[in-house]
Amino acid sequence: MAVAVIMPRQGNTVESCIITSWNKKVGDKVNVGDILFAYETDKAAFEEEAKVAGTLLKVLYEEGDDVPCLENVCVIGEPGEDPDAALAGGSAAPAAAGAAPAAAAAPAAQPAGNCTPVIMPRQGNTVESCVITEWHKAVGDTVAVGDQLFSYETDKAAFDCEAEVAGTLLAIFYEEGSDVPCLDNVCVIGEPGANPDAFRPGAEQPAPVVAPEAPAAAPAPAEELAEAPVTIGDLKISPRARKLAEEKKADLSKVVPTGPDGRVIERDVQALIDAGKVIGAAAATEVAAPAAAVALGVPCDDSYTEPMSNIRKVIARSMVASLSTMAQLTHNISYDATEVKNARAMFKAKGEPFGMDKISINDIVMYVVARTLMQPEHRAMNANLIDDGKTMKYFRGVNLGMAVDTDRGLMVPTIFNADKMSLKQLSDTAKQLARDCKEGKISPDYLQGASFTVSNIGSLGIESFTPVVNPPQTGILGVCAMKDAFRMVNGQIEVYPSMNLSLSYDHRAMDGTPASKFLRDLKNNLENFTLMLAKG
Q: Which residues bind other proteins (CB under 8 A)?
A: 215-217, 219, 238-243, 258-260, 263, 265-267
Q: Which lies closer to other proteins via its Cβ, residue 266 or residue 521?
A: 266
Least Å from the CB of residue 268 to other proteins: 10
Least Å from the CB of residue 128 to other proteins: 25
Contacts by 338-342 with C-beta closer than 8 Å and gap 24+? Answer: 338/496, 338/497, 338/527, 339/526, 339/527, 339/528, 339/529, 339/530, 340/364, 340/365, 340/499, 340/526, 340/529, 341/482, 341/497
Least Å from the CB of residue 200 to other proteins: 34
Q: What is the DSSP letter of 473?
A: B
Q: Which lies closer to other proteins via its Cβ, residue 20 or residue 238?
A: 238
Least Å from the CB of residue 225 to other proteins: 13
Burial status of residue 136 (CB atoms within 10 A of its CB: 0-12, 13-18, 19 or more): middle
Least Å from the CB of residue 266 to other proteins: 4
Least Å from the CB of residue 230 to other proteins: 18
Q: Which lies closer to other proteins via its Cβ, residue 258 or residue 425?
A: 258
Report DSSP letters for 234-288, one per residue: G--B-HHHHHHHHHHTB-GGG----SGGG-B-HHHHHHHHHTT-BTTGGGGS-PP
Q: Which lies closer to other proteins via its Cβ, residue 237 or residue 373?
A: 237
Q: Which lies closer to other proteins via its Cβ, residue 64 or residue 239?
A: 239
> What Å distances lie between residue 71 and 96, 230, 247, CA to CA?
11, 27, 44
Q: Strands 452-456 and 400-402, how do they pair?
A: parallel
Least Å from the CB of residue 276 to other proteins: 22
Q: Which lies closer to other proteins via its Cβ, residue 89 or residue 260?
A: 260
Least Å from the CB of residue 223 to other proteins: 13
Least Å from the CB of residue 433 to other proteins: 26
What span, in angstroms and rounded, lies between the C-alpha atoms of 460 and 474?
25
User: Which of 284, 290, 335 has its CA nearest to residue 157?
Assistant: 284
Least Å from the CB of residue 250 to other proteins: 14
Least Å from the CB of residue 182 to other proteins: 24
Q: Which lies closer to other proteins via its Cβ, residue 258 or residue 516?
A: 258
Residue 534, classed as helix, strand or coil, is helix
Q: Which lies closer to other proteins via its Cβ, residue 211 or residue 294?
A: 211
**233-247 b/e (C-beta count within 10 Å ≥ 16 → b):** eebebbeebbebbee
Report whether 256 contacts 225 (CB < 8 A): yes
Contacts by 510-518 with C-beta closer than 8 Å and gap 24+? Answer: 510/380, 510/381, 510/474, 512/329, 512/331, 514/377, 514/378, 514/380, 514/381, 515/331, 515/381, 515/475, 516/331, 517/377, 517/378, 518/372, 518/378, 518/381, 518/475
Q: Which lies closer to other proteins via its Cβ, residue 267 or residue 317?
A: 267
Report whether 458 contacts 481 (CB < 8 A): yes
Helix-strand-coil split of the chain, %, nearest 5: 30, 25, 45
Cα end-to-end distance, the chain, whole Å: 74
Number of residues in the chain: 536
Q: Which lies closer to other proteins via its Cβ, residue 98 or residue 221?
A: 221
Q: Which lies closer to other proteins via its Cβ, residue 268 or residue 339?
A: 268
Least Å from the CB of residue 238 to other proteins: 4
Q: Which lies closer to other proteins via its Cβ, residue 266 or residue 336?
A: 266
Residue 357, classed as helix, strand or coil, is coil
Q: For residue 12, which phi and psi values (nearest 5 degrees)?
A: -65, -25
